[in-house]
Amino acid sequence: MASNIKIRAKVKNGETTVKSLMSHEMETGMRKDKKTGELIPAHFIQEVTGKWNDTVVMKALWSGGVSKNPYLSFKFNGGEPGDTIEIAWVDNKGNTDSATAEIS
């Protein structure tokens, strides 16, 4: 299965900037279906992890308050062109996704 995460990472002056876009519906559990009037069950990313060469450099805990198809950007000290960046997430239903990219 293809990942639904897009990643770009660049290093400048010893600091790496990672930008990612994740495709996910991010339902809060508070919105009603327009046709049935029933609440749409909560379905959102709970945990996002960023790794540089298998070392965790960022971890975020989210809730239903994050928008659909979230964008995430973070920086860390270190990284060289060609090093690997991985972004992975787990949602409240146990679904997961991950993707890797090389630092440029």
Please state, in angstroms and rounded to a whole number, the distance separating the CA atoms of residues 69 and 54: 25
d(Cα 65, Cα 32) in Å, to the nearest integer? 16
pLDDT in tens, 61-102: 999 899 999 999 999 999 999 999 999 999 999 999 999 999
Tell me, what's the pLDDT at 3? 82
pLDDT score, position 70: 97
Domain of residue 75: give its range.
5-102
pLDDT of residue 69: 97
pTM of the model as a whole = 0.91
- Could you report the per-residue pLDDT of 2-50, keeping only the tens digit for each? 689 999 999 999 999 999 999 999 999 999 999 999 999 999 999 999 9
Cα-to-chain-centroid distance, residue 3: 11
The pLDDT of residue 54 is above 70: yes
How does the average pLDDT of the chain come out, rounded? 96
* Cα 42 to chain centroid, rounded: 18
pLDDT of 2: 67
Total domains, the chain: 1
Looking at residue 82, which CATH number applies to its domain?
2.60.40.10
Structure-block tokens of residue 88: 């992975």
